[in-house]
Structure 1
Amino acid sequence: MDLHLLIDNLTNPALLFFILGIVAVRLKSDLAIPDQTSKFISLYLLFSIGFKGGQELAHSEFSMSIIYAIIFGMCTATIIPVYTFFILKKKLSVYNAGAIAAAYGSVSAVTFVTAVSFLEIQNIGFNGHMVAVMALMEAPAIIIGVILIRIFVKNDASKEQQSLKQIIKHSFTNGSVLLILGSLIIGLLASDEQAMGIKPFTTDIFKGFLAIFLLDMGIVSGRKLQDFLKSGKFTILFATVIPLVNGLIVAYLSRIITQEPGDRFIMAVLAASASYIAVPAAMKIAVPKANPGIFIPMALAVTFPVNITIGMPAYLAVVLCS
């Protein structure tokens, strides 16, 4: 790993605001971001990254590399929940194993946004179709997680079947997925002149909103961290090691489909990230017996900070060296 990449990431203002949020909780400060404000910033980040991705895609020539990237991403989102499920099932219930496997096979839009900011600091670009890859990786992992639970749980088969139908629909109509796909399409259709009209909103204030959002994520993580620690060493170890393994493997294997460093880095980050928005919402419908008190803190309080501190410099180092 290139040490200067790690140092640059550790001094990134966005990351430092995340740490500030955790510190605020530990100091029992009353610092808090209002729920509606946090929701608005989440929507803004998805809108901004989707729109800019659409603009990038509009200026890109259609090629087989786009198809290869989508296929590679969806295969990753299918394989990861399968192998992680069998690891998790050794220590956890089938319901929790399936939900956690779905979360780690799925993606985190916030981690994606942070990865984009990281690439900007390194002056490395990426292709706009990676936004579409991210959005399309959400559903397969959720569906695989539910299918695995159906296979290994003999009871309530009819209920699980009904839930699977609901979850397929929910995966594609989930607000975060719909917004980023919709923004991508709008950005694709908009002309350069039209895009320039909203550039101050989509681009100029992006990093500021990201910093505030990560401050809020730090506060949320700090509040949930103590309860999660009571769940045992296995979940902590899993949430730390598995994302790094996934990210490093994909960082290396992604050279099969592209030689673009930015695209390969994004692929690695998507493989390493874990969903704590779409998957919990989906599992609440499909698998109500799964405990969100385990898989949400795993993704948010452990995997997310591991990725943005150690993971991203490591993935980029592998990409640049292979």
Structure 2
Amino acid sequence: MRRKEVLMDFISDFLTKFVAQLQSPTLGFLIGGAVAAAVSSRLAIPDAIYKFIVFMLLIKVGLKGGIAIRESNITEILLPALFAVLTGILIVFIARHTLAKLPNIKVVDAIATGGLFGAVSGSTLAAGLAVLDAQGMEYEAWSAALYPFMDIPALVTAIVLASIYTSKQKKLAAENEYRSKQEFYGEQKEYGQQRITASGYPHEEQNHRVEIWPIIKDSLQGSALSALLLGLALGLLTRPESVYESFYEPLFRGLLSILMIVMGMEATARINELRKVAQWYAVYAFIAPLIHGFIAFGFGMIAHYATGFSAGGVVILAIIAASSSDISGPPTLRGGIPSANPSAYIGASTAVGTPVAIALGIPLFIGLGQAVMGG
């Protein structure tokens, strides 16, 4: 009986905190932008302004993280960083063995979708930090630096898996073509180390190798990650406290509210793209962010008990896992997996994944963190 009462108290406490999170202004602006686009409003925010806002938010987050890293024990970061890497890789494999198995889903499209959902959204991270600050929930400022530890491994894993799959398919197609030509002509020829291509001409077998460094380089050079890393470097190597407190910190919530309006409008616009591909993408994009967040939350709990990782830090790890890249990820995947359909993975991320991560993921994991750890 006592256990039942404890469980009911926990559920009641969690639901109360979850509902309270849904009333945050961050989510209100997101919904407002979605409604404005849905009613065909002529409201428009220039792309240059959007990119500037993202830059400002991420360099602010990076500055705060760099200052915190400078003042912290580097060993505290190792276990959460390892879990961030594992989460990013695991998310891609989950998509490969779930989404790719569903009807009318191409394997390369599923892998690219997993890569985008494993990568991190800087805007979702900024939104999560804003809500945590508003709730007074403490977290390690360096936890924002977990971003690249999850983002880059996810993108690299997706591109490598897609390349391996594509190479195997090409090899299989060439061998099938060779066998059909043999059967057609009734000939048995020795080709040594050669294969017959789809065009019917023999060539030396190629060693399909994936170059990892160019993928990492493209990720690091992406606008979102570059801004965050620049902020981290400045916070770590210089003394930017005065400009941070007088300029970046006061502007943060105002800029974030504009960003949420833009993202809400973008989500509504992308729904049309999502309709062009299998509806399973919408189902996946709704469920996956929450599952990914719970996986990261579990890893974060291990770090919490092992190293004292804060409740807020656990929540941030879950939030970035629930997010899907909206700035640097798409161009990286376009270049790395050119055979994948951008309407599938970008539509799934922007139209469904990001709104779910912000509107449900952030309040869910904050409420869970407060209920479980009393943060």
TM-score exceeds 0.5: yes
Match of 1:64 in 2: 75
| Identity between Structure 1 and Structure 2 (%) | 28
**What's the offset of the Cα at 1:198?**
4.1
Check 1:219–1:76 CA distance in 2 against 1; reply closer, same or farther (3 A cut).
same
Instruction: Indicate the SS of the match to 1:51.
Output: helix
**Equivalent position amino acid for 1:132 in 2:** A
Matched, 1:250 2:296: yes
Number of aligned residues: 319
Match of 2:106 in 1: 93
Q: Given that residues 22 and 363 in structure 2 are in contact (C-alpha distance below 8 angstroms), is that contact kept between their aligned partners in structure 1? A: no
Instruction: Indicate the SS of the match to 2:338.
Output: coil
Of 339, 342, 345, the match for 1:289: 339
Map 1:28-43 → 2, pairs under 5 A: 28-43=40-55
**What's the offset of the Cα at 1:233?**
2.9
Query: What RMSD over aligned residues (CA atoms) do the two structures have, in Å?
Result: 2.1
Matched, 1:169 2:217: yes
Of 270, 279, 286, the match for 1:224: 270
Instruction: Indicate the SS of the match to 1:276.
Output: coil
Match of 2:190 in 1: none
**What's the offset of the Cα at 1:164?**
5.0
Match of 2:145 in 1: 132
**Equivalent position amino acid for 2:249 in 1:** T
Q: Given that residues 50 and 131 in structure 1 are in contact (C-alpha distance below 8 angstroms), is that contact kept between their aligned partners in structure 2? A: yes
Q: Given that residues 24 and 31 in structure 1 are in contact (C-alpha distance below 8 angstroms), is that contact kept between their aligned partners in structure 2? A: yes
Q: Which deviates the most, 210-219 or 284-293?
A: 284-293
Matched, 1:299 2:310: no
Match of 1:52 in 2: 64
**Equivalent position amino acid for 1:273 in 2:** S
Check 1:31–1:59 CA distance in 2 against 1; reply closer, same or farther (3 A cut).
same
Check 1:263–1:198 CA distance in 2 against 1; reply closer, same or farther (3 A cut).
closer
Instruction: Indicate the SS of the match to 2:43.
Output: coil
**What's the offset of the Cα at 1:152?**
1.5
Match of 2:312 in 1: 262
Match of 1:120 in 2: 133
Check 1:305–1:160 CA distance in 2 against 1; reply closer, same or farther (3 A cut).
farther
Q: Given that residues 62 and 231 in structure 2 are in contact (C-alpha distance below 8 angstroms), is that contact kept between their aligned partners in structure 1? A: yes
Match of 2:229 in 1: 181
Matched, 1:274 2:324: yes
Matched, 1:233 2:279: yes
Check 1:57–1:164 CA distance in 2 against 1; reply closer, same or farther (3 A cut).
closer
Check 1:87–1:3 CA distance in 2 against 1; reply closer, same or farther (3 A cut).
same
What are the superposed Cα offsets for residues 197-254 of structure 1, whole Å, 9 maximum, x if unpaired? 3423210010000000111111111111133134333111111112111212321331
Measure, in 2, the Cα distance between the counterparts of 1:251 and 1:162. 32
Measure, in 1, the Cα distance between the counterparts of 2:230 and 2:19. 36
Q: Given that residues 163 and 286 in structure 1 are in contact (C-alpha distance below 8 angstroms), is that contact kept between their aligned partners in structure 2? A: no
**What's the offset of the Cα at 1:8?**
2.9
Check 1:298–1:134 CA distance in 2 against 1; reply closer, same or farther (3 A cut).
same
Q: Given that residues 132 and 366 in structure 2 are in contact (C-alpha distance below 8 angstroms), is that contact kept between their aligned partners in structure 1? A: no
Match of 1:13 in 2: 25
Match of 1:195 in 2: 241
Instruction: Indicate the SS of the match to 1:153.
Output: helix
Q: Which deviates the most, 68-77 or 311-320?
A: 311-320
Check 1:165–1:93 CA distance in 2 against 1; reply closer, same or farther (3 A cut).
farther
Instruction: Indicate the SS of the match to 2:98.
Output: helix
Instruction: Indicate the SS of the match to 1:289.
Output: coil
Measure, in 1, the Cα distance between the counterparts of 2:206 and 2:337. 13
Check 1:252–1:162 CA distance in 2 against 1; reply closer, same or farther (3 A cut).
closer
Measure, in 1, the Cα distance between the counterparts of 2:275 and 2:368. 31
**What's the offset of the Cα at 1:158?**
6.6
Measure, in 1, the Cα distance between the counterparts of 2:301 and 2:81. 14
Q: Given that residues 77 and 271 in structure 1 are in contact (C-alpha distance below 8 angstroms), is that contact kept between their aligned partners in structure 2? A: yes
**Equivalent position amino acid for 1:184 in 2:** L
Matched, 1:150 2:168: no
**Runs of at least 5 residues in structure 2 that lack an aligned partner in the other structure:** 1-10, 172-204
Check 1:5–1:303 CA distance in 2 against 1; reply closer, same or farther (3 A cut).
farther
**Equivalent position amino acid for 1:289 in 2:** S
**What's the offset of the Cα at 1:39?**
1.0
Matched, 1:313 2:324: no
Check 1:195–1:214 CA distance in 2 against 1; reply closer, same or farther (3 A cut).
same
Q: Given that residues 34 and 268 in structure 2 are in contact (C-alpha distance below 8 angstroms), is that contact kept between their aligned partners in structure 1? A: yes
Instruction: Indicate the SS of the match to 2:136.
Output: coil
